[in-house]
Amino acid sequence: MAELVRIELTDEASAAAVAARCAAAVGSAAMPAHVRARVLLKAAEALEAQAEDFARLICREVGKPLKEARREAARGAFTLRWAGEEARRITGEVLPLDLDANSEGRYAMVKRVPRGPALFITPFNFPLNLVAHKVAPAIAVGLPFVLKPDPRGSKTAEKLIGLLVDAGWPAEAAIVVGGPLPAAEALVRDERFRIFSFTGSTAVGWRLKALAVKAQTCLELGGNAAVFVARDADVPWAAARCAWGAFYYSGQVCISVQRIYVEQEVHSEFRRLLVENIKGLVVGDPTDEKTDVGPMIDEKSAIRVEEWLKEAVSHGAKLWTGGPRNGLVIPPSLLEGVPADCRLSCEEAFGPVVTLDAVGSREDALDRMAASRYGLQAGIFTNDLAFVHRAFERLPVGGLIVNDIPSFRSDAMPYGGAKDSGLGREGVRYAIENYTELKTLVVKPN
């Protein structure tokens, strides 16, 4: 593997030096489109060839069950490949300007150009694919970048950047940094960065946005995703999908299923099937091929979720599945009747917990789904097309998934949230639009 440019930030001066170094790499990043595409496609092939190594590294670093880590490696290769294809499709347009007498005889050429150096901050829970979603579009448009991965997943991130450098991306245009938060905040404030993209907690994201005054900003933040199961739904399918979506990677996913609302007529059947599916999940060592639910990322997080569970039960919620915490492991927990002001209802749990409630009408379901400060994605299970369109208009979310869970994401689609769930959209083509700006040439032939 090629030698990476990795710098440990110590203070504001070191952050300023990193920003200057990244800005100086603008020229080396400005490769022709076919070269940028080749870099990404070659890296995708390398990632596919090393997929098992990446999966096992992810499993070791962040405790993700091995079968989910393998899925992340496959998704990461797709993201790189898709970016390589999109690198060849960054086009502009020609506009005739003979729209009034003043513009006769002129036309305009409009093209997309890179905004400038980019700063990316990524979380621990998808240490490969969420890095790919930031750096691959940057390479597609020819942008130098600085990446600050969460230290808990930094080895995976660095291994991915190493593949990209080996594939031909200039090492000086892919700087990986570590260090304390004040030094990272100094990077965010540095006006040489024209793009800032952050994935992480809501509180940190909005604070950093206030510092990135002149940068085009994209924030992918938290959520407490809701699901509605209508009486005309395929109830066994809905129960199976909700059980997986609530507990894969111990719920440490911002689009993990957290709130389930079920139409009264099918509530008992759905609950019975959901409990059966939850009890069928294998809890244990993430390196075991059979494990569905492993440990949480650290003890602090596990203790927090345990406290939230106790709070809900003390306020009258019924615990259908779950049990005492065992170190970093919290058994998959299903609660019913959690009061709206309990943290499991109104905040992001980011743990292996899901709440269930029966609703008397579909309109009540939409009202309760929308009653959240978050708005990332939601899911509805129904065959009523009119209701689907009504839900699409009423729910303040970035994405609505029909007959599946909000945890579904295609790496090609636009992805992002409303309200406190963030700002802007990822997904390769949509990130490319965010990383570029329009430049216009007006021509008046002689």
Torsion from C-alpha of 70, 73, 79, 80, nearest 10 degrees = -150
Residue 428 sits at φ, ψ, to 5 deg, of -50, -55
Strand partners, 425: none
Q: Other C-beta atoms within 10 Å of 100: how many?
A: 7
Burial class from Cβ neighbours inside 10 Å (0-12, 13-18, 19+) for residue 385 reads exposed
Which residues are part of the catalytic machinery? Answer: 220, 254
Question: Rounded distance, CA 343 to CA 68, Å?
Answer: 28
CA 121, 123, 129, 133 torsion: positive or negative?
negative
Nearest to 214 by CA among 237, 234, 228, 194: 194
> Where does residue 445 rank: exposed (0-12), middle (13-18), buried (19+ CB within 10 A)?
exposed
Name the token pair of 289.
């091929």
Please, are residues 318 and 305 in contact by the beta-carbon 8 Å criterion?
Answer: no
Phi-psi region of 391 (alpha: psi -120 to 50; beta: other; left: phi over 0): alpha
- Return the exposure string of 310-323: e unless at least 16 CB atoms fall within 10 Å of the residue's CB, then b: eebbeeebeebbbe
